[in-house]
């Protein structure tokens, strides 16, 4: 399996050891993606056009162009529009910019592991994975999943439907690992990650200690 590293607002593939993975809470799989389905909460952290398209700007999500590759220029292979991908032969997203993104994708037989880096510990993040949209007879029924590194797996994203899924997690380290899996050459058309800000909930013991400290300070001031 190839391994991928996403650095800050970008991605890098390579033989990087799995470093850390918080538990991700997966939402239900959406279908027939439209521009309005792109996540917009919080502040932009990463927007990656995973295929060979020119990139796109949709709202404040500025998609970096280019396929998912490592420093040597290898990694997930990239397919460009040949009239058979989601917007080429299976539908229209209603957005020319999103159509460009959905008309290409990156893929790799056996899946790919990658790591987000530069996360702020204690902040919540939403990560949206836009699956390969491919209506060709060879590939329309193929599925891809996203694993958070803890064997916590998203629902199945079928290629013919323009499927997507959002996972939410609280960073407990500067990195977060994901794994794209599937029965056959799973891949992505795009990834969007948003920083939702401080979101860690203190452990009960920590919260009690903090409360005790505040009460003690208040009593001391009263004296």
pLDDT of residue 51: 76
pLDDT of residue 17: 40
pLDDT of residue 2: 42
How far apart are alpha carbons 93 and 23 in whole angstroms? 31
**What predicted TM-score, i.e. pTM, was given to this entire model?**
0.79
Report the number of distinct structural domains present in the chain: 1
Q: Give the pLDDT confidence of 135-153 residue by residue, as tens digits.
A: 888 888 999 999 988 889 9
pLDDT of residue 105: 82
pLDDT of residue 7: 39
Contact 167, 28 (CB under 8 A): no
pLDDT of residue 157: 96
pLDDT of residue 172: 93
pLDDT of residue 187: 82
pLDDT of residue 82: 53
Q: Give the pLDDT confidence of 198-209 residue by residue, as tens digits.
A: 964 544 443 444
Range of the domain at 157: 2-222
CA distances in angstroms from 23 to 73, 124, 178, 182, listed in the order given: 31, 12, 10, 20
Alpha-carbon torsion, ordered 11, 19, 202, 212, to 10 deg: -130
Percent of the chain at pLDDT > 70 equals: 71
Q: Write the DSSP string, 160-192.
A: GGT-EEEEEEE-SSS-EEEEEE-SSS-EEEEEE
Residues in the chain, pLDDT under 70: 1-20, 66-83, 199-223
Alpha-carbon Rg for the chain in angstroms = 20
pLDDT of residue 185: 80
pLDDT of residue 60: 94
């Amino acid at each position: 399996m190839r391994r991928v590293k996403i650095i800050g607002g970008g991605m890098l593939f390579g033989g990087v050891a799995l470093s850390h993975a918080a538990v991700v809470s997966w939402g239900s799989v959406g279908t027939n993606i439209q521009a309005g389905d792109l996540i917009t909460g919080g502040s932009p952290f990463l927007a990656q056009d995973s295929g060979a398209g020119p990139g796109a700007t949709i709202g404040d999500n500025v998609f970096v162009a280019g396929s998912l590759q490592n420093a040597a220029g290898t990694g997930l292979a990239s397919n460009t529009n040949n009239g058979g991908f989601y917007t080429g032969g299976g539908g229209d997203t209603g957005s020319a910019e999103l159509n460009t993104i959905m008309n290409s994708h990156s893929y790799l037989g056996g899946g790919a592991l990658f790591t987000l880096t530069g996360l702020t510990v204690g902040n919540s993040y939403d990560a949206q994975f836009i699956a390969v949209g491919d209506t060709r007879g060879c590939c329309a029924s193929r599925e891809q999943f996203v694993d958070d590194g803890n064997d916590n797996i998203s629902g199945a994203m079928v290629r013919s439907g323009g499927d997507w899924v959002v996972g939410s997690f609280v960073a407990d380290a500067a990195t977060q690992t994901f794994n794209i899996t599937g029965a056959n050459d799973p891949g992505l058309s795009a990834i969007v990650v948003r920083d939702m800000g401080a979101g860690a909930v203190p452990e009960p013991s920590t919260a009690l200690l903090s409360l005790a400290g505040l009460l003690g300070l208040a009593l001391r001031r009263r004296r």
